[in-house]
Structure 1
Amino acid sequence: MTTTPVTVPTYADGTRLSIQLFTVEGSGCGPYVALPLSSAWTPYSAHLFTRATAEMIVRNLENDGRGIFGTFADDGTLTLTWTEDYDGEGGTQKVTPDAHGRYEIGGLWGWDDWGYHVPHTEWQAALVQGAAEYRQADASASLPLPLNALYSWGREEAHRVTLGLERS
C-alpha cells in the first residue's frame, strides 16, 4: 500500500512547524501535544492530535462542565456533541482520523498556548518537558517515579503526532 506523505506546514521563512502544546482557553486543561496545521493559527484553528490526546481532551472537557461530550466509534471516528447551553444551538461534529490515527480538532472552543501563564502541576511540567525534548536524548531516567513516565508519555505523543511527515 502506498501512502501520500503529509506535507509539513512551514513558517513564512520556510522553517517547518513542529509540535506545539495547547490548553483549552481559560482552563488548566492539558497540556495537549499537537501538530499545528498552520503557522498563523488562531484560537479556533484546528490542530492534529493523537487518539490518546483526543481522549484526554474529551475527558477534560466533560469534567470541566462545558457541555461538550465526545464518543469514539469502532472505526475510530470521534463524534463531538454539545448542548444548547454551550452555544445556544447545540450540535455535533464528526472527526475521522487520518491514515496515521491523528484527529483534526478545532473550531468549537478556543485554544491557547501552554505556557507559564497557565497554572500547572509538576506532573504537567514533566509531560511538557518530554514533549519539548522529543528529538533529543531521552532524559526520563533523571526524573523520579512517576514523573519519568509522564516525561516518556510526552515524548511518545510528540513522536506519534508527527508520524508520516515528509522529512525535508
Structure 2
Amino acid sequence: MNTTSGSAPTAEPRPTYWADGTPLSIQLFTVEDSSYGPYVGLPLRDLWTPDSAHLFTRATAEQIVTDLHRDECGMTAEFADDGTLTFTDEHKEGKDSTRTVRPDEHGRYKIGGLWSWDEWGPHVPHTAGQAAFALGAAEYRCTAEKCTKHPDGLDHLYARGREEAHAVSLQRDEP
C-alpha cells in the first residue's frame, strides 16, 4: 500500500505485464466492420486504439492472412521459409507498400497499423462455432468443472480457443 502525508492508504496498482514484458491477459479481436475472427491476441498496451499492434501466434497470424486474402481488400501477406510475414498493400507504392513482421522469441507476431482492429464481441455477426472458440479462449484459465457449458459438437472449437489463448500467453496464469 502507498500512503502520502495526510491521505488514506491506496492500493498498489496491479501489474499488467510479466517481468519479461509479456502482457498478462488475452483479448479477442476482429477487423473493424467485419465478422472475421475472433483472433486471440495479447494487447501490448493497457489502452489500445484501432491502429495498435497486438501479439498473435503463428496459427492466428495464418488465419488473419487467410481472411485478408478472402476479403480482396488490396492487401496481401505471405510467410517466408524463416517465418517472416510480409504484408503488401497494393494501393501504396515504394517502401511504404510493405511491412515485414518477424516472430518474437516465442513465435508470436506483432501485427497492427495495417487496418483498424475492433474488440470481438456480441456486436460482431458470428457463427456458433466462432462463439464456442471465443468462449474457450476467454475461459482459458478456468478449470473443467468451472467452465461454461457450450453446445455439443463444438467441443473441438472450444478446445482450440483455449489452446490458442494458452499459446499466445505462454501458458501463464495471472498472478
- TM-score, normalised to structure 1, is 0.84
Q: Does 1:32 align with 2:48?
A: no
- Distance of 2:25 and 2:71 partners within structure 1: 28
How far did residue 5 of structure 1 move?
5.8
Q: Does 1:60 align with 2:60?
A: no
Cα 1:149–1:166 shift into 2, 3 Å: closer
- Distance of 1:137 and 1:31 partners within structure 2: 22
- Distance of 1:30 and 1:142 partners within structure 2: 18
How far did residue 128 of structure 1 move?
0.4
Identity, % of aligned positions: 58
User: What are the equivalent positions in structure 2 for 1:77-96 lying under 5 Å apart?
Assistant: 77-84=84-91, 88-89=92-93, 91-96=97-102
Paired residue for 1:7?
Answer: 21
- Distance of 1:48 and 1:113 partners within structure 2: 14
Q: SS at the partner of 2:165?
A: helix
Tell me, which stretches of 5 or more residues in structure 1 are unaligned? Answer: 10-16
Tell me which stretches of 4 or more aligned residues in structure 1 moved more than 2 Å.
138-143, 164-168
2:35 maps to a residue whose letter is: G
Q: SS at the partner of 1:93?
A: strand
How far did residue 121 of structure 1 move?
0.6
2:152 maps to a residue whose letter is: P
Cα pair 2:166 2:172 within 8 Å, conserved = no
Cα 1:142–1:57 shift into 2, 3 Å: closer
**Residues 28-79 of structure 1: CA distance to partner in whole angstroms, max 9, x if unpaired?**
1111000000011000000000000000001101101111111111111101
- Distance of 1:7 and 1:130 partners within structure 2: 25
Cα pair 1:140 1:152 within 8 Å, conserved = no
Tell me, which stretches of 5 or more residues in structure 2 are unaligned? Answer: 1-17
- TM-score, normalised to structure 2, is 0.80
1:111 maps to a residue whose letter is: W
Q: Does 1:97 align with 2:111?
A: no
- Distance of 1:44 and 1:157 partners within structure 2: 22
Q: Does 1:111 align with 2:117?
A: yes
How far did residue 142 of structure 1 move?
5.7
How far did residue 8 of structure 1 move?
3.7
How far did residue 104 of structure 1 move?
0.2
Q: CA RMSD in A?
A: 2.2
2:135 maps to a residue whose letter is: Q
How far did residue 165 of structure 1 move?
6.2
- Distance of 1:164 and 1:8 partners within structure 2: 11
Number of equivalences: 154
